Chain A
Amino acid sequence: MKIIWTIVKRELVAYFTSPVAYVFLVIFLLLTGFFTFTAGSFFERGEASLASFFGWHPWLYLVLVPAVGMRVWAEERRSGTMELLLTMPVATWQAIVAKFLASWIFLGVALALTFPAVITVNLLGEPDNGVILAGYLGSFFLAGAYLAITCMTSAMTRNQVIAFILSVVICLFFILAGFNPVTDLLTRWASPAVVDTVAAFSVVTHFDGFQRGVIDTRDLVFFLSVIGYALFATGVIIRGHRAG
């Protein structure tokens, strides 16, 4: 536990000492603002909710989370520090979990900085803050799932750009599986059971519940198992390329 915390601390310090982190935060906040108030027509809706805020998150994260996570392992491999880290008395899984947690915390900080949206909606009306809280929780898990996938692709290569593109493609699949235009297309020639199975793999389907204020164990299990599976795969990849 202590070792994990040591690595988490180092990674977080590394994030906040580089200007990239602040650029990311600013871009993230600008984009959430733009999507919520302009593209999401927050005011025109005339309802006291953050639906227009959370609705965009699967798409927004599609680009921003891989941007945060792409360096996690690719950079360690490129600079050779992976050899240093993994020859310390540290188990590989500890390093994987720690690096994931640090980036997840960073994304959590970014998400927490959107609090003015909560204040705005509370000033303008009387929203159900429980629903908003559930939305934040879901959004955090959504980011975690994308991040774990990015950690996995980051471990595959020493090139951050490749890691970025790969994870965008995989995350896009996880969105499209439950995206309405795609499911509509599927229903034309596939049985409803197939459509439901495909949609069950989608982050959008599982994020929907949170947006409506429902914290369903099945949705939590989905996100946690995506995270768990992707981190496990990260371990296999790291072990694999060391084994040669």
Chain B
Amino acid sequence: MIKIENLVKSFGPKRAVDAISFTVERGEVLGFLGPNGAGKSTTMRMITGFMPPTSGRISVGGYDVAESPIETKRLIGYLPENAASYPDMTVAGFLKFAAELRGLGGKARKKAVQHVIELCFLDSVLHQSIDTLSKGYKHRTCLAQALLHDPQVLIMDEPTDGLDPNQKHEVRNLIRELGANKAIVFSTHILEEVDAACTRAIIIDRGKIVANGTPEELRSMSERAGAVTLQARGATAERLETLGRVEKLDGAFRIYPRDKSQAAQLAQEVVELVNVHGWKVEGMYSERGELDEVFRRITLPDTVKK
């Protein structure tokens, strides 16, 4: 649905987006990760046709964004950063306005508006003006606007920013449900969201893609992935070191596999060692790897990296 080739955006001498290429198919939910100023919002603004790229091509649903902007905009639902909407309008008035701009009229419009009101739980604030709403409601109003025309492509810039944990949970669930038959791209700082909603994630840093894969694949890039943490009475680091590098934790040991191919049997080997020495196991688990560790390792400048 979305195909991006060699996308570049320069602001003066600064390259905000530097030769990015990726595709998103229908049924995919792509998480867009990266530190502040990495180029996430700029990329999304180019996909939605708000900013023209300096060079490169974007096609959405087979249309070229630069050549047929109106056709591509029809396919896209967009939740901009900070969920901007007209503060002087009521929620109902705003949704009606957005639906009319989308070319919906009469019964179709009423139905579409009613549908997104239910989807985003806006019933109780319909006739309130937007500037009197709490941040969560403002956000959902803007999200509702993006869903009005049941778009095939959904672009969301930090859809859970400023929401409380319950609302975050709802929005993530909504994204996952919608993702079944749409192509969705959303940006976030929150790594747990990648697990909660994404089928694939891209990490972007200083305008370049530095990682692209399923959450599972990204996690396995963590140096902790495959390590086994053991908490057992009687266990000693010297004994465990026969299996791999050992890190002492608070009352436990973390054993790292010598290489990733050995990771699969490591747990088994630890169990055997425990049995041989008759240690009393209080807890043992194998680590899947931590996304935030991967994120930090890839996106921190070399000077800060330890």
Q: Cβ of B51: which chain A residues have Cβ within 8 Å of it?
A: 242-244
- Quick check: is B103 within 8 A (CB to CB) of the other chain? yes
Contact partners of B285 in chain A: CB under 8 A = none
Chain A binding surface, main DSSP class? helix
Q: Which of B81-89, B240-248, B269-277, B292-300 contacts A (4 or more CB under 8 A)?
A: B81-89
User: What CA separation (Å) do A89 and B69 show in the bound complex?
Assistant: 8
Let me know if B80 and A244 touch, CB within 8 A: no
Our pick among B69, B74, B84 for the contact of A84 (Cβ within 8 Å) is B84
Q: How far is the CA of A3 from the CA of B73 in the complex (A)?
A: 14
Check B9 against A81 for contact (C-beta < 8 Å).
no
Assuming A89-B70, A89-B103, is B11 touching A244 (CB within 8 A)? yes
Question: Which of B50, B69, B93 interacts with A83 by CB under 8 Å?
Answer: B50
Contact B76 A6 (CB under 8 A): no
26 contacts between A and B (CB under 8 A): A2-B103, A3-B101, A6-B101, A10-B97, A13-B89, A14-B89, A17-B88, A79-B86, A80-B82, A83-B84, A84-B142, A86-B49, A87-B49, A88-B73, A88-B102, A89-B70, A89-B73, A89-B101, A89-B102, A90-B70, A91-B69, A91-B70, A242-B52, A243-B52, A244-B9, A244-B16
Q: With the chains together, A83 CA to B70 CA distance in Å?
A: 15
When chains A and B are docked, how far (Å) is the Cα of A13 from the Cα of B48? 28
What total of chain B residues lie within 8 Å of the partner, measured CB to CB?
A: 35
Chain B residues near A (Cβ < 8 Å):
9-12, 16, 45, 48-52, 69-70, 73-74, 76, 78, 80-82, 84-89, 93, 97-98, 100-103, 142, 145
Q: Which residue of B lies closest to A241 (CB)?
A: B51
Q: Does A18 contact B (CB under 8 A)?
A: yes
For residue A105, give the distance in angstroms from its CB to the closest CB of chain B.
17
Q: Which residue of A lies closest to B53 (CB)?
A: A243
A243 to B, closest residue via Cβ: B52
- Select A244's contact among B10, B78, B98, beta carbons within 8 Å: B10
Which of A6, A18, A81, A91 is the one whose CB lies under 8 Å from B84?
A: A81
- Of B9, B80, B145, most buried by chain A (CB within 10 Å of CB) is B80
Give the complex CA separation of A243 and B55 in angstroms: 11
Within 8 A of B (CB), among A1-32: 2-3, 6-7, 10, 13-14, 17-18
Distance (whole angstroms) from the CB of B50 to the closest CB of chain A? 5
Q: How many angstroms between the C-alpha atoms of A91 and B85 in the bound complex?
A: 19
| Interface pair B11/A18, CB less than 8 Å apart | no
Q: In angstroms, how far is the closest chain A Cβ from the Cβ of B82?
A: 6
A99 to chain B, nearest CB (A): 13
Residue in chain B with minimal CB distance to A80: B84
Closest Cβ of chain B: how far from A7's Cβ, in Å?
Answer: 8
- A18 with B88, Cβ < 8 A, contacts A86-B50, A242-B50 known: yes
| Interface positions of A from 68 to 116, Cβ below 8 Å from B | 79-81, 83-84, 86-91
Give complex CA distance A242, B48 in Å: 12
User: CB-CB < 8 A to A84: which residues of B?
Assistant: 78, 80, 84-85, 142, 145
Q: Please name all residues of chain B whose beta carbon is closer than 8 Å to the beta carbon of A86 when the two chains form the complex.
A: 49-50
- If A13-B89, A89-B102, A91-B70 are given as contacts, then 17 extra A-B residue pairs at C-beta distance below 8 Å, sorted by A number, are A3-B101, A6-B101, A10-B86, A10-B89, A13-B93, A14-B89, A79-B86, A80-B80, A80-B81, A81-B84, A81-B85, A83-B45, A83-B80, A84-B85, A86-B49, A89-B103, A244-B12
Complex interface: chain A residues within 8 A of B101 (CB):
3, 6-7, 88-90
Nearest chain-A residue to B42 (Cβ)?
A: A244
Note all chain B residues with C-beta closer than 8 A to A79: 84, 86-87
Inter-chain contacts of B82 with A (CB < 8 A)? 80
Q: Which residues of A contact B85 (CB under 8 A)?
A: 81, 84
For residue A232, give the distance in angstroms from its CB to the closest CB of chain B: 18
Report the minimal beta-carbon distance from B93 to chain A, rounded to whole angstroms.
7
Which B residue sits closest to A17, measured CB to CB?
Answer: B88
